[in-house]
Amino acid sequence: MARAHLVCGGYPAGATAGHDMDYARRRLLELLEPWQTTVSNDFTDLAKYLPQCELLVTYVAGPFLTPEQADEVEHWMETGGRWVALHGTSGGKAARIPDSKRRKMVRQEHHRALGAFFLNHPPLAQFTVDVASSSLTEGVPASFDVQDEMYLIEVQDPSVEVLLTTKMSKDPSPEGFGFAYDKDTSVGPDGETRVLGYRRPVGKGSVIYYALGHCHSQATNMQPIVDPSVSDDGRSPPQFRGPWASEEYTQLLRNALAA
């Protein structure tokens, strides 16, 4: 039986970081049923599991690869390893801005290995996802609507195969919402297209990243407000499954795991 390793958790160890990690972990383990799968909360013990695995799956909010681990993962992919990275995997460390209550994300070697860097996301909203034609999107319509956090991600590697995009000309976040950033480097040359998913070939292997994936429970909800397209009164739903409740997202995950 092929072996996989799942990293699913927040920061610090054991924290949820605003996500229903238990739900995401259960859903991913269901999809990983054909695999012999080990599970960790973060990347601390990655070296113990990675060499034995053909597949690495990550759903994290806070944990990130150290520079040494980033090199190890890239080497592992070069020799055929496949990394399926989801949602908050493009995040990591956020540094406090001097004389401010806000924080800004910090670029790491982790983002080089992944191929993407998270800037911010507006409040939860409904938006349209455009889907490219690929073996990885087989069984998924050319576009679909989803309720989720629309991640603003800066693609680090121009050679990626873009799989998912959306259109938004300007970050609609209210003043002071989320993370600060100097420039919106997530928007394409046309001034509106934003990448939400891609495959990055690395030697004989690859990394597939999908920015979609927010979920929370009443106990883990940290969303202060949401867009009216999610809730008329702007209050965050106590339980939110978003893309996890859609057939399209499930199919994308099935395809990625089987690729």
155, pLDDT greater than 90: yes
Domains along the sequence of the chain with CATH: 3-258 (3.40.50.880)
Alpha helices in the chain (DSSP H): 21-31, 46-49, 67-78, 109-114, 247-258
20, pLDDT greater than 90: yes
**What percent of the chain stands above pLDDT 90?**
97
Q: Are strands 36-40 and 3-10 parallel, antiparallel or unpaired?
A: parallel
pLDDT band at residue 1 under the 50/70/90 scheme = confident
Kindly report the number of other CB atoms within 10 A of residue 196's CB atom: 25
pLDDT band at residue 259 under the 50/70/90 scheme = confident
What pLDDT, on a 0 to 100 scale, did the predictor assign at position 150?
98
pLDDT band at residue 189 under the 50/70/90 scheme = very high
What pLDDT, on a 0 to 100 scale, did the predictor assign at position 164?
98
The values of phi and psi at residue 170, to 5°, are -145, 140
pLDDT band at residue 6 under the 50/70/90 scheme = very high
Residues paired with 225 in a beta bridge: none
> What rounded mean pLDDT belongs to the chain?
97
Are 205 and 79 spatial neighbours (Cβ–Cβ below 8 Å)?
yes
Predicted confidence (pLDDT) per residue in 92-144, tens digit: 999 999 999 999 999 999 999 999 999 999 999 999 999 999 999 999 999 99
Say which residues have a Cβ less than 8 Å from residue 36's Cβ, sequence separation at least 6.
1, 2, 3, 4
Q: Which residue has the tokens 């990885």?
A: 136
